[in-house]
Structures are given as C-alpha cells and as structure tokens.
Amino acid sequence: MFKLTKDQIDSIKKIVFVTGAGISQESGIPTFRGKDGLWRKHDAMKLATIDAFYDNPKLVWEWYNERRANIFASKPNLGHKAIAELEKYVKVAVLTQNIDGLHQKVGSTEVLELHGSIIKIKCSVCNYKEEMTSEISEILPLCKCGNILRPDVVWFGESLPQDVWQKAMILASQCDLMVIVGTSLVVSPANTLPIYAKQNNAILIEINPENTEMSSEMDLVIRNTGAISLPEFVSLFKKN
C-alpha cells in the first residue's frame, strides 16, 4: 500500500501529520462535511461564529456541551495510537484541526491544535483561560471579571492563534514527509500546510477515503481510513 523505497524511508527524519475530523470519526466523533456531518444538521453561522455567541450564548453553549460530552466519552483509535507509536522511530509533530484532544490522550508529545480545544474555555473579554476536567454545570458560565466564558476554539471569521500558526508553518516547512489524514483541505489557512512541506521537497501522503482539493498534488494517495492505514505505515519504520 505504502510504496516508499528503503532509501526514502532512511532519509525521513521528521514527519508532520496534518489531521482533520476524519481521523476521529472512527472514535465516534462526527465530522463536519461528510454525509452525516455536523454542518448538514446545524447552521454553522448560528453555532460557530462570535456573532452567534453574542446573539444566543445559551444555544451555543448547549451545542458545545453536547459535543463535549461525546468527546469525553470517546477513545483514541488505532490511527491516533499509530501516530503516537511512530515517535519511537522518528521525530513526529501533529498539526491538528481537531479540537478533541485525542492525540494528546494517546500520548503524542508534539501536538499543535490549530483550531483550539473544546476542553478549554476562555473569557470573551479578558485573558482568562482554563482547562476543563468535567462538565460545566452553569448554563452560562461567567468569568471572574463578570463576562461570559466561551469555548476556546477558533470560530468562522476568527484568526488562528498566531503563535501556534507560526510554529505550524515552521514545522511544515522543515519536514521530510507530511501525512495528511482525514481532512478535506478546504479550510484556510490549514490547507496551505502541504504547500510549505512541498517547498522543502517533502514527500506528501494523503490518507482519506474520499478525494480532496489537493489529491492531485500528492505523491501518494491512500483511499482508506487512518485507523486502517496508519498501523501499516508505522510498520515500515519498525522494519527499518
């Protein structure tokens, strides 16, 4: 399946994974744009923008609490585990669009959350941030400053955290191999990461059951899921 030569494998010292909702789908977390995706059932503009939050914070919090309960109950799958295991053999970084924390839960040590984290909250006004270990009991949680707390995620129309994005660009531009797993590559600016890798002459591998915006740019395309494909990918480095 993975047509890499021994010389290619020997030359790979740094691998960057770019992961999207597809890798967590097999852990029971719905994707956004698939046939059963969240955006087919919900209006993103009423749930994932700052204007929607100010218009109806109760609705937004109810939706995120429902998603959070699902995520807390989910476990990393074989795809997440394979990426973490790969650190035994080569330097690995994960640039994820997911907000579920499953990469960290399974032991990946260098994970950049491009779109924030659903298990973190922040104040809508001041700089207060906090990580959640359990469900929020208040319907509208308030900060110590008196303003409403919000999920620490990147909503439509908001910029990515600049420190995270700068580091992601550097990692992408320095890798020898980029593996893009379970993302449609339609969301900007995360969809530019393969371009940075390509400029470093990195090998690009896409793992996705469906065609994406950048499939034609890939060196290798695996039409399967991360949970099925990634354990086999890791075995290449074990044998080496």
* CA dihedral (207, 107, 186, 170) positive or negative: negative
Q: What are the start-end ranges of the E strands in the chain?
A: 14-19, 91-96, 111-113, 116-123, 129-131, 149-153, 177-181, 203-207, 220-222
Nearest to 71 by CA among 21, 111, 110, 112: 21
* CATH number 3.30.1600.10 is the correct assignment for the domain at 30-73+120-153: yes
Structural domain boundaries in the chain: 1-28+76-115+159-240, 30-73+120-153
Binding residues for NAD(+), as ranges, are: 97-100, 182-184, 208-210, 226
pLDDT recorded at residue 59 = 86
* CA dihedral (145, 148, 149, 154) positive or negative: negative
Q: How many whole angstroms separate alpha carbon 173 and alpha carbon 18? A: 13
Query: Which stretches of the chain score pLDDT less than 50?
Result: 37-40
pLDDT recorded at residue 122 = 95
Q: Which residues are catalytic?
A: 115
Q: How many CB atoms lie within 10 A of CB 74?
A: 17
Same fold across 1-28+76-115+159-240 and 30-73+120-153: no
Q: Which CATH superfamily is domain 1-28+76-115+159-240 in?
A: TPP-binding domain (3.40.50.1220)
Q: What is the pLDDT of residues 159-218, one digit of tens each?
A: 999 999 999 999 999 999 999 999 999 989 999 999 999 999 999 999 999 999 899 999
Residues 6+ apart with CB under 8 A from 62: 139
Nearest to 150 by CA among 99, 94, 75, 103: 99
pLDDT recorded at residue 40 = 47
Binding residues for Zn(2+), as ranges, are: 123, 126, 143, 145
Binding residues, as ranges, are: 64, 67, 97-100, 123, 126, 143, 145, 182-184, 208-210, 226
78-85 vs 226-239: helix crossing angle, rounded to 10: 20
Max distance between CA atoms of the chain, in angstroms, equals 60
pLDDT recorded at residue 37 = 43
pLDDT recorded at residue 41 = 55
Burial class (CB in 10 A: 0-12, 13-18, 19+), 69: exposed
CB 98 within 8 A of CB 24: yes
Is pTM, for the whole model, over 0.85?
yes
